[in-house]
Structure 1
Amino acid sequence: MTADLSLGDLNAVATVAATRNFRAAAVELGIPPSSLSHAIASIERRLGVRLFNRTTRSVALTEAGSDFLERVRPALHDISAAVEMVNRFRATPAGLLRLNGSEGSVERVLPLVLDFLDAYPDMRVDIASDGRLVDIVATGFDAGLRLAEAVPQDMVAVPVGNDEAFSVVGTPGYFASRPPLAVPGDLFAHACIRTRMASGAIHRWEFEHQGETVVIDPPGRLTLGSHDLSLRAARDGAGLAYVTERAAREDLASGRLLRALASWTPAFPGLCLYYPRQRLPSAGLAAFIAHVRAARARPLDPRKA
């Protein structure tokens, strides 16, 4: 007796394995979580083995499930490649484009994504922004979004925006009541607003000047969970924040905040879209890459630099 599994069944198993979460897998597949759970249970009954160990908090492949998926994945990849090959003959690309990036990077790219969807009505875009630096190949994403310096070496990086720079900022009132700042070491006499990253680590302040690099774990009584909150606290006079020049641009232009140690915070390559070097981009990804490059080539609006 055969299990008589469909391509949809196999794709459901692979999606649950990739996301390790029934709800997330159901969203990706476009079906209710209860329907996906029943489908996986039905597959397991037909196979006569349990493919997943389930708890209230996690889903993990069993040994049988892992062996099964190891044999199934190449076939699914071949089928996907065949569909993509046919898709290249279409006048316009169609299908799903999956991207992964931090919340900040997704916010930056969202206007481009919306323009892309307007230009390609047969495309769908699914963006994950959970703050983790994930392996986009292992987790099934077409491309990712990171600062250029964090893009893995085996990836192709496509610049999305302009160069970035960090800045140390505080209110005029704060600077008037504190010792002057000439070098990064002077920060130890100041109140610094520390930022905790999604990984749980404190964001260290990095400086560079004439070949000298200084990295500081900033002193301070206040630690916040995002750079946006740190900037807000700096506006309220709580101390110095270390944020991107882009984020603080309006505050600096208005004089609400002042910048210190500017010669110690040079520009660096900014946000990039990246994808596997060894894999031919799908028609949808190729169209999005072209869309990003075209947008970057247009004259720059100084308000969005």
Structure 2
Amino acid sequence: MVERVEAAVQDIEAFLAVAQTGSFTRAAESLGTSKSNVGKAVQRLEKRLGTRLFQRTTRAVRMTEDGETYLRAAHVALAGLRDAEQELAARKSEPIGRVRLDVPAGFGRLLLPGLAELQRRHPKLTLEMALSDRMSDPVAEGWDIVVRIGHLPADGEMTVRKLCDLRLGLYASPDYVKRKGPIDSLAELNTHDAVIFRGPSGRLRPWTVSDAGNVRDMVMEPVLVLADGQALVDAAANGFGIVQINDRVARPYVEAGRLVHILPAADVDGPPVHAMIPLGLRMPAKTRAVLNHLADSLRE
């Protein structure tokens, strides 16, 4: 079976060489074989297809209409095979070089411990990481991987891979809850201190909550407004008030006793997290290693 496939590919390569050079002799020279072998390869291909691909005369070789149709298909097929070969080679090669990541501030600090382990496994890998909540231009700024929560650009310059889903919940420090008292209902939130996030658009982000199964927005009067996702978490951990953040970012703070989960029944589905990679013929091994690590760690 493998031998038949290899022979078929060789016949297609012979056909392409004749089409490109316009000569069986020059095609043989480019392939490093004999004119007779090229002629037999084209004949086998024509027999298999049941049509003539070339009109041959003593002076010239011209492609038929069927030959032109097959030429277009052959180019696409061989390009796909070359891409597949490059991808398989990339998977086997060692991740070497620099990978530039742009990650939301709070989320990036969540990923740092795992990325340190990745770098220890691949010491020839260098990571450059920007932690920012602004909407960067992935292509213009030369990022290898951009992690985005929620909104994705509507252009076709990036390959998108979903990393995980999030849940949004309300959190505050144990000290704040002790000082202000326990919270038993959504109505009580209006008497509490709210730390609110200002998104890249400049708009204050309302809290989205589940109220007896109905999802609604709560516009809170803030005691503190922050445009940095990590600062939002730090403010809550330091007792400023209540914040709404995603479960992935909150989890290590809850486990460390720095935050407590308030009104879990009010949690709602949050936005998905995606990784975006610039389009190209193949993904370098270094980028693939980082991307797969992100996907695996967030899946856990």
TM-score, structure 2 as length reference: 0.54
Matched, 1:262 2:267: no
Distance in 2 (CA, whole Å) between partners of 1:251 and 1:111 is 14
Higher RCO (C-alpha under 8 Å, 6+ residues apart) = 2
Given the alignment, which residue of 142, 155, 161 partners 1:157?
161
TM-score, structure 1 as length reference: 0.53
- Secondary structure of the residue aligned to 1:113 is helix
Query: What is residue 194 of structure 1 aligned with on the other side?
Result: 196
Matched, 1:203 2:208: no
Q: Please report how far the alpha carbon of residue 139 of structure 1 lies from its aligned counterpart in structure 2 after TM superposition.
A: 1.9
Query: What is residue 37 of structure 1 aligned with on the other side?
Result: none
Unaligned runs of 5+ in 2: 1-85
Cα offsets for 1:81-108 (capped at 9, x unmatched): xxxx698498313232121122222212
Asked if the contact 2:147/2:275 (under 8 Å) is kept, the reply is yes
Identity among equivalent pairs (%) = 21
Asked if the contact 1:167/1:243 (under 8 Å) is kept, the reply is yes
Q: Please report how far the alpha carbon of residue 135 of structure 1 lies from its aligned counterpart in structure 2 after TM superposition.
A: 2.3
Query: What is residue 169 of structure 2 aligned with on the other side?
Result: 166
Letter in 1 for 2:111: V
Asked if the contact 1:173/1:237 (under 8 Å) is kept, the reply is no
Mean Cα displacement is larger for which, 222-231 or 95-104? 222-231
Given the alignment, which residue of 121, 124, 127 partners 2:126?
124
Q: Please report how far the alpha carbon of residue 295 of structure 1 lies from its aligned counterpart in structure 2 after TM superposition.
A: 4.1
Asked if the contact 2:96/2:125 (under 8 Å) is kept, the reply is yes
Aligned residues: 211
Query: What is residue 182 of structure 1 aligned with on the other side?
Result: 185
Query: What is residue 221 of structure 1 aligned with on the other side?
Result: 223
Query: What is residue 62 of structure 2 aligned with on the other side?
Result: none
Letter in 2 for 1:150: H
Letter in 2 for 1:167: L
Cα offsets for 1:110-139 (capped at 9, x unmatched): 233323322333332222223311121232
Asked if the contact 1:132/1:199 (under 8 Å) is kept, the reply is no
Mapping 1:1-305, distance limit 5 Å: 88=90, 91-147=93-149, 149-152=150-153, 155-159=159-163, 163-169=166-172, 171-176=176-181, 181-183=184-186, 186-197=188-199, 200-209=202-211, 212-224=214-226, 226=228, 229-230=231-232, 234=236, 238-249=240-251, 259-268=261-270, 271-276=273-278, 280-295=282-297
- Secondary structure of the residue aligned to 1:292 is helix
- Secondary structure of the residue aligned to 2:216 is strand
Asked if the contact 1:101/1:144 (under 8 Å) is kept, the reply is yes
Asked if the contact 1:190/1:219 (under 8 Å) is kept, the reply is no
Unaligned runs of 5+ in 1: 1-84, 301-305
Greater radius of gyration (CA): 2
User: What CA RMSD, in Å, does the superposition of the two structures yield over aligned residues?
Assistant: 4.0
Seen in structure 2, the aligned counterparts of structure 1 residues 295 and 251 have a Cα distance that, compared at 3 Å, is closer
